[in-house]
């Protein structure tokens, strides 16, 4: 398995692949991933120019460990195959499929990625795939999409196009996204892949943004698509385990290990009932803390 499949992806920041001011140094803001966009951020008559710019950016810029995902154009356009070839030839880490509606959509993209890896001398399996779900049909098929390919590391909700399809609109409250969000997280967890929330487009409403991120964190998402560096700190703050939670998780892991050896199944830690059901969650907190660079312990 590609070791990057489960890497930390709290923030996945979109940027127009054609704009030199955006693509030259986004790593300075330290998002976990950048998503170089060839799709909706790029005007129809600029698709070739954007692809050209993307290729040279990938070839020449050192993004310093920041994951480089390329959002290709839709499978109903004449652009997507050439988008994949340029992205893979340039050295991208992953392809984001927009408007994914079925497992078959992922499979046809995978076939092109496999061919491009061969053609451009990339290691087999080095390019991962993620699928953006932007329609009611896609949401209803989320589990099939999650299970469509070994290369698929996750799915992402795209709220703008999804609410258009649902015949509603983005309100900022999240009510219109509740069903899709819950369905997608459940599907992703059932398949063992990651799940990412949609962008929050009102850059002047940072309180609304914080509330949105807190909600999706509680729902079980792994991270969020974002559009601007100003949104990074809030997402990282909410998605990085707090020291008090890390310390509690360490106690839970140590106590479960100790009590198990003593033949004790249920007990309390800091006044809270603990049994084996809490073990994986505590381990996950510690792994997330390690990946986020805030772990000081020795587990
Ligand atoms: C919104 C705005 C124009 C505001 O610009 P502003 O310049 O006013 O912002 P400022 O804050 O003043 O910038 C301060 C400094 O940060 C730099 N800076 C800003 N943004 C940066 C960035 N993204 N990456 C690196 N650098 C950045 C900037 O260059 C400046 O640098 P400097 O001059 O050196 O100080 C800008 O952010 C932007 O273009 N965002 C990305 C938009 C985009 O790609 N949309 C498509 C994807 S969504 C979609 O398609 C819908 C979806 O599909 C979604 C789904 O899938 O979920 C669905 O269906 O819902
Ligand atoms: Mg969209």
Distance between CA atoms of residues 102 and 106, nearest Å? 7
In total, the chain counts a number of residues equal to: 299
Distance separating alpha carbons of residues 254 and 267, to the nearest angstrom: 13
Please indicate, yes or no, whether residues 114 and 209 belong to a single structural domain of this protein. Answer: yes
Q: What is the pLDDT of residues 54-83, one digit of tens each?
A: 999 999 999 999 999 999 999 999 999 999
Same domain, 160 and 251: no
Q: Cβ–Cβ contacts within 10 Å for residue 270, how many?
A: 9
Distances (CA, A) of 38 to 14, 70, 261: 10, 7, 56
Question: In terms of domains, do 263 and 219 share one?
Answer: no
Are residues 53 and 160 part of one domain?
yes
Q: Are residues 159 and 262 in the same domain?
A: no
Complex ipTM > 0.90: yes
Q: What pLDDT is stored for residue 284 in this prediction?
A: 96
In whole numbers, what is the pLDDT of the chain averaged over residues? 97
Q: Say if residue 34 is in the same domain as residue 100.
A: yes
Average of per-residue pLDDT across 170-194: 97
Same domain? 42 vs 81: yes
Contact between 105 and 133 (Cβ < 8 Å): no
Q: Reduced to 3 states, what is the DSSP secondary structure of residue 12?
A: strand
One domain for residues 229 and 248? no
Same domain, yes or no, for 131 and 271? Answer: no
The rounded distance, in Å, linking the Cα atoms of 259 and 278 is 13
Q: How far apart are the first and last CA of the chain?
A: 24
Encode pLDDT of 95-105 as tens digits: 999 999 999 99
Q: Which of 193, 212, 237 is the last residue of a domain?
A: 237
- Render the burial of 50-77: b for 16+ CB within 10 Å, e for the rest: bbebbbebbeeeebeebbbbbbbbbbee
CATH of the domain at 28: 3.20.20.60
Share of the chain above pLDDT 90, in %: 100
If you measure from the C-alpha of residue 27 to the centroid of ligand 1, how many angstroms do you get, rounded to a whole number? 14
pLDDT band for position 85 (cuts 50, 70, 90): very high
pLDDT of residue 202: 96
Ligand 1 centre from 144 Cα, in Å? Answer: 32
Domain boundary among 214, 237, 260: 237
Ligand 1 mutation pick, 20, 50, 130, 228, max ligand atoms within 8 A of CB:
228
- Asked if residue 69 belongs to a domain, the reply is yes
Q: Are residues 262 and 284 in the same domain?
A: yes
Q: Report the pLDDT averaged over residues 206-230.
A: 98
Range of the structural domain that residue 264 is part of: 241-290
Q: Which residues contact 139 (CB under 8 A, 6 or more apart)?
A: 133, 162, 179, 180, 183, 184
Token pair in block for residue 35: 């998503």
Q: How far is the CA of 135 from the centre of ligand 2 (A)?
A: 9
- What is the biggest distance separating any 2 CA atoms in the chain, rounded to whole angstroms? 70
Candidate of 227, 230, 232, 235 to mutate for ligand 1, largest count of ligand atoms within 8 Å of Cβ: 227
The answer as to whether 174 is a domain residue is yes
Ligand 1 site residues (CB inside 6 A) read 13-16, 21-22, 26, 37, 40-41, 132, 134, 158-161, 198-199, 225, 227-230
pLDDT at 1: 84
Q: Is 296 a member of any domain?
A: no
In angstroms, the CA 248 to CA 243 distance is 9
pLDDT at 209 over 90: yes
Distance, CA 177 to ligand 2 centroid (Å)? 14
Binding-site positions for substrate: 71, 134
Q: Which two tokens stand for residue 167?
A: 């015949």
Phi then psi dihedrals of residue 246, to 5 deg: -65, -45
Spatial separation of the C-alpha atoms in residues 43 and 50, rounded to whole Å: 9
Confidence (pTM):
0.97
For residue 283, pLDDT over 90 is answered with yes
Closest CA to 202 of 167, 226, 175, 176: 226
Tokens encoding 297: 């312990």
Q: Look at residue 18 in the predicted model and tell me its pLDDT.
A: 94
Relative to the alpha carbon of 230, which ligand is closest?
A: 1
Q: Examine the pLDDT at 262 and tell me if it is beyond 90.
A: yes
Residue 297 lies in a domain: no
Domains of the chain: total: 2
């Amino acid at each position: 398995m590609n070791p990057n499949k489960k890497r930390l992806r709290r923030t996945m920041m979109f940027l127009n692949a054609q704009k030199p001011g955006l693509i030259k140094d986004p790593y300075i803001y330290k998002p976990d991933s950048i998503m170089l966009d060839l799709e909706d951020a790029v005007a129809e008559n600029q698709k070739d120019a954007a692809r050209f710019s993307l290729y040279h950016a990938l070839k020449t810029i050192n993004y310093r460990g920041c994951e480089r995902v390329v959002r290709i154009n839709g499978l109903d356009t004449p652009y997507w195959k050439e988008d994949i070839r340029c992205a893979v030839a340039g050295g991208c880490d992953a392809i984001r499929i927009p408007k994914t509606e079925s497992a078959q959509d992922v499979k046809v993209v995978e076939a092109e990625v496999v061919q491009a890896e061969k053609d451009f001398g990339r290691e087999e399996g080095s390019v991962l795939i993620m699928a953006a779900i932007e329609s009611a049909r896609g949401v209803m098929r989320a589990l099939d999409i999650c299970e469509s390919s070994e290369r698929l590391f996750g799915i992402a909700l795209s709220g703008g196009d999804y609410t258009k399809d649902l015949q509603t609109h983005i309100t900022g409250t999240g009510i219109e996204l509740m069903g899709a969000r819950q369905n997608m997280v459940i599907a992703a967890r059932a398949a063992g892949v990651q799940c990412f929330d949609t962008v929050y487009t009102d850059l002047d409403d940072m309180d609304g943004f914080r509330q949105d991120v807190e909600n999706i964190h509680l729902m079980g998402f792994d991270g969020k698509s974002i559009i601007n560096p100003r949104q990074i700190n809030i997402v990282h703050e909410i998605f990085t385990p707090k020291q008090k939670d890390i310390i509690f998780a360490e106690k839970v892991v140590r106590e479960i290990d100790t009590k198990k050896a003593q033949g004790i199944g249920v007990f309390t830690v800091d006044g809270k009932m603990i049994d084996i059901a809490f073990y994986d969650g505590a381990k996950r907190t510690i792994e997330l803390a390690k990946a986020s660079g805030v772990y000081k312990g020795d587990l």
